[in-house]
Chain A
Amino acid sequence: MDDGRISRHGSGAKLWLAGGWLLLALLAAIFAPLVAPQDPLAQDLMLERLPPFWMSGAEPGYWLGTDSLGRDLLSRLIFGARIAFIVAFAAATAACLVGSTLGLVAGYFGGWADRIISRIVDVWMAFPPVLFAILLVAVLGTGLSSVIIAIAVIDWTRFCRVIRAETMGQSRMDYVENARIAGYGRIGIMLREVLPNVVPSIVALLSLEMGIAVIVEAILSFVNLSISTDDPTWGGIIAEGRLSIHQAWWVLVFPLITLILTVLSFSQFGEGLKARFDPVLR
């Protein structure tokens, strides 16, 4: 009894912390032009490689310092959050819709539908995901929509595999059999009876996938294949930081902390929501 209460309190705290960070980052992204202290694109060679505020040589108004072109790091991180969240929401939702639908169909209908979908998943799993993403963006041409499409095309299998297994488990339960006896159609049972029971898993995966999408976008912009190089992206800032690591460590440290916090928050938020939704865990 005690154990359960402690872990529930623990997961509650984690849910609030994770949700809090994500909300903060999301608000910063939405109101970027209002909250960013500087123009994220303004270059000033007089201000190049300024250190963060607590170090000597820092300039007021440039809280986290500047990069090798004198651009304000904090403002670039805030504007970079816009791309990160757009990609996170759009790509994860698209991957979720495709993957969950196929997973539900494969798990509920079984037979040929399951065999064909599972074979396609096998083929997809034989690709190195990062290379596949880079290849897709190269073929589609760089740009925000290409990045979103590439992530969705690659990561739908994550939803498909989990939802297929969960649906299979649910389909064997008595309530599904009862619905069938009561005369409901198969698609009706799938959507009205099975789907609500796999929603907690879908929600947890969706949040996890948003974190993964943020990472993949960062990787793509790290290798300079995401969106146009003018717009600040977290991966782009990291690429600059990697180059000037011995002269200005802060250009790598702050985007890295931002990315780690965001990824951890998305996965913890998903887990926390799942625990809230799941009647067994609750």
Chain B
Amino acid sequence: MLLQRFLIRLLTMLVTLFGVAVVVFVVIRVAPGDPIAMMLPPGATDADIARLRALYGLDKTILQQFFIWLSGVVRGDFGTSISLRQDVLGLVFNRLPATLELAIVALIMAVTIGGTTAILGARERGTAVEAGIDIASGTALSIPDFLWGLVLILLFGVLIPVFDISGRVSPQLDLPFLTQFYLFESLLRLRFDLTWDLLKHMLMPAVALALPLAAIIAQLLKQSLKEVLDLDYVVLARVKGFSETQVILREALKNAALPTLTLVGVQFTFLIGGTVIVERLFSYEGLGNMAIDAVINRDLPLIQGIVLVFALLFVLINLVVDMMYALLNPRLRHG
């Protein structure tokens, strides 16, 4: 049953990815404007144009062009970046770890802040504390990450300058890292001085990304907790003499968390989508920042590669969340 569900989801995921490839191809190749003219830097000669035209097989039909391009993508050949003159896949994998670290730190923050707020709100339900939480989460939710980033830059970069507002790591530091996962590697190497420097750079973009998600978690989890807290088994636990906090943590949370989990999955992809502009705002050297440079430089092979990697990431997250949901939900597990 579970395997069948997994295979169906896998197939849907492939269909979605194929759709993404079609859309990317259409946007870049069929949209008005000469793709070659867009790919070339200003001042290119006629010989350059002819060479590129042959290289991309633009004399063939659109359908042939699409399958030539797609077969390259499937084999991991995303082409060569025009502005950086390097292999696109290599460039993408070089930047992806920075974005993943930022997104994961933001997710951990969102779950921690949102979860704590939800538990507090459920414990203090019906009081002014809960009303305050509702107003705060409503506001946090309505303001997008881009604006939160700017607010944080003003507050903690200018007014009280405690955190760094640009870059991923202080440039004067010697980095002993073998991978691009700086934060995780600094922890494994026990170089906590570097961990602190990385976190000081990462904290504000991560908070900007985390706040809207934290607000959603706070609202939804609080609602589910309040529903569960009225059920018989919870009332029984209360009669047994557990404190309200114990009741929530030991009995209610486990059963209230499932709807939140599904939502967090979808929202996590929105959070990753937000890294594009938040990285730009904080000059953080991740994939999103590179994507904006690629668009400004009209580096189409690089844009295609980045968009496809983001799409792959999004559908993989949805697949994982779906499987986790199936594993954790007893009705589906035994069904």
**Which one of A60-68, A88-96, A252-260 contacts B?**
A252-260
**Contact between chains at B295 and A135 (CB < 8 Å):** yes
A223 an interface residue at 8 Å Cβ cutoff?
yes
Least distance between B209 CB and chain A CB atoms (Å): 12
- Nearest residue, chain B, Cβ from A134: B295
Within 8 A of B (CB), among A257-271: 259-260, 263-264, 267-268
Residues of B contacting A140 in the complex (Cβ-Cβ under 8 angstroms) = 31-32
Q: Say whether, besides A126-B20, A225-B295, A264 and B142 are in contact (CB < 8 Å).
A: yes
Interface residue A276 (Cβ < 8 Å from any Cβ of B): no
Say whether B19 contacts A120, CB under 8 Å: yes
* Contact present for A246 and B158 (CB under 8 Å): yes
Q: Cβ of A119: which chain B residues have Cβ within 8 Å of it?
A: 15-16, 19
Bound together, the chains give a CA A139 to CA B17 distance in angstroms of 21
Judged by a CB distance under 8 angstroms, whether B12 is at the interface is: yes
Which among B19, B276, B307 has the greatest number of chain A C-beta atoms within 10 A?
B276
Proximity string of chain A (214-227) to chain B, C-beta cutoff 8 Å, 1 when within and 0 when not = 01001100111100
Q: B238: CB under 8 A from chain A?
A: no
CB distance from B138 to the nearest CB of A (A): 9
Residues of B within 8 A of A (CB): 12, 15-17, 19-20, 23, 27-28, 31-33, 38, 139, 142-144, 146-147, 150-151, 153-154, 157-158, 269, 272-274, 276-277, 280-281, 288, 291-292, 295-296, 298, 303, 306-307, 310-311, 314-315
**CB of A13 within 8 A of chain B?**
no
Residue of B nearest to A268 (CB): B142
Q: Are B292 and A223 in contact (CB under 8 A)?
A: yes
15 A-B interface contacts by CB (under 8 A): A120-B19, A123-B20, A126-B310, A126-B315, A127-B20, A130-B277, A131-B276, A134-B292, A134-B295, A212-B144, A222-B277, A245-B158, A253-B154, A256-B151, A264-B139
A183 at the interface (CB under 8 A from B): no
Chain A nearest Cβ from B19, distance in angstroms:
3
Q: Which residues of B contact A120 (CB under 8 A)?
A: 19
- A218 — which chain B residues lie within 8 A by C-beta? 146
Nearest neighbor of A223 in chain B, beta-carbon distance? B292
Say yes or no: is A69 at the interface (Cβ < 8 Å to chain B): no
Other than the given A122-B19, A219-B277, 14 more pairs (CB < 8 A) read A122-B16, A126-B315, A127-B273, A128-B272, A131-B291, A131-B295, A134-B295, A135-B27, A135-B295, A139-B33, A218-B146, A225-B296, A242-B281, A256-B151
Contact partners of A238 in chain B: CB under 8 A:
150
Interface positions, chain A 101-135, Cβ under 8 Å from B, are: 119-120, 122-123, 125-132, 134-135
| Residues of A participating in the B interface, judged by any CB pair closer than 8 Å | 119-120, 122-123, 125-132, 134-136, 138-141, 211-212, 215, 218-219, 222-225, 238, 242, 245-246, 249, 252-253, 256, 259-260, 263-264, 267-268
Please determine whether B314 and A125 come into contact, CB atoms closer than 8 angstroms.
yes
Residues of A within 8 A of B303 (CB): 135, 138
**A263 and B276 in contact (CB under 8 A), knowing A126-B16, A252-B154?**
no
Give chain B residues whose Cβ lies under 8 Å from the Cβ of A134: 276, 291-292, 295
- Asked, given contacts A246-B158, A252-B150, whether A128 binds B276 with beta carbons under 8 Å apart, the answer is yes
Contacts of A260 in B (CB 8 A): 143, 147, 151
* Chain A residues with CB below 8 A from B139, complex form: 264
Q: Is the CB of B147 within 8 A of A263?
A: yes
Q: Which residues of A contact B146 (CB under 8 A)?
A: 215, 218-219, 222
* CB nearest to A120 among chain B residues: B19
- Smallest Cβ distance from A152 to chain B, in angstroms? 14
Q: Are B273 and A129 in contact (CB under 8 A)?
A: yes
In the complex, the answer to whether B143 meets A264 with C-beta atoms within 8 Å is yes
Q: Are B296 and A135 in touch, CB under 8 angstroms? A: no
How near does chain B come to A76, taking the closest CB pair, in angstroms?
17
Give Cα A129 to B269, complex, Å.
10
Chain A contacts for B15, CB-based, 8 A: 119
A131 and B307 contact, Cβ closer than 8 Å, known pairs A225-B295, A249-B158, A264-B139: yes
Residue of B nearest to A215 (CB): B144
